[in-house]
Amino acid sequence: MTDVPIRLLLADDHPVVRAGLRAVLETEPGIEVVAEAATAEEAVTRANQGDIDVVLMDLQFGKGMNGAQATAAITARPGAPRVLIVTTYDTDADTLPAIEAGATGYLLKDAPPEDLATAVRTAATGGTILAPTVADRLMNRLRDPRAALTRRETEVLTLVADGLSNHAIGTRLHLTEGTVKSHLARIYTKLGVDSRTAAVAASTQLGLIRR
């Protein structure tokens, strides 16, 4: 058993959340909160200083870089700290980009304190821990990949739900309008619908996008 504590960086734009996480984790033996970051950009900079073992990362930071983007930037470096997502969001639109970006674990903020401490220790050793709802959704995707939306399809559908036209979606995602239409056609087929409104309704019900 090593006496060296697991060194944490708390990355969340809400001071109350950071204070709550610190209060819970600093009571745990072998865990030390050494830094906090209020933006994703700050988290990337601080994580790269070499003295962090695990980053507890929120997903939404308002303007600028989001948590998934920060996770990708952090984990891309050799010897990078592990990133444990701690958020309120559990839809495919949130979980998939974060996991694809290299997150070691994904936990929801309503998790019991003991689960949070276990997740930190698991992440520090390179293990993976997922909130039950996230694990169930990923298993469902593996069981029936035909019904699963790709990351790009999820992005397109999220913008459809926001009321953007095909042209506006293409501009936002740097795609041609024809490509956007192709994505929508595949989305309709996967969801068994024939309209934008029905696609948004079905995907919201299935938890594929966050509304």
The residue that leads in pLDDT, 161 or 204, is: 161
Q: Note whether 6-140 and 145-206 share their fold.
A: no
64 φ, ψ to 5°?
Answer: 90, -160
* pLDDT for residue 156: 93
Token pair for residue 109? 């903020």
The residue that leads in pLDDT, 92 or 182, is: 182
* pLDDT for residue 48: 93
How far the first Cα of the chain sits from its last, in Å, is: 45
Which CATH class name applies to 145-206?
mainly alpha
Summarize pLDDT for 54-80 with one digit per residue, the tens. 999 999 898 889 999 999 999 999 889
**Where does 112-195 have alpha helices with state H?**
113-124, 132-143, 151-161, 166-173, 177-191
| Distances from the Cα of 209 to the Cα of 24, 46, 130, 151, angstroms | 31, 31, 19, 11
Q: Is the pLDDT of residue 25 over 70?
A: yes
Q: Where are the domains of the chain?
A: 6-140, 145-206
6-140 placed in CATH 3.40.50.2300:
yes
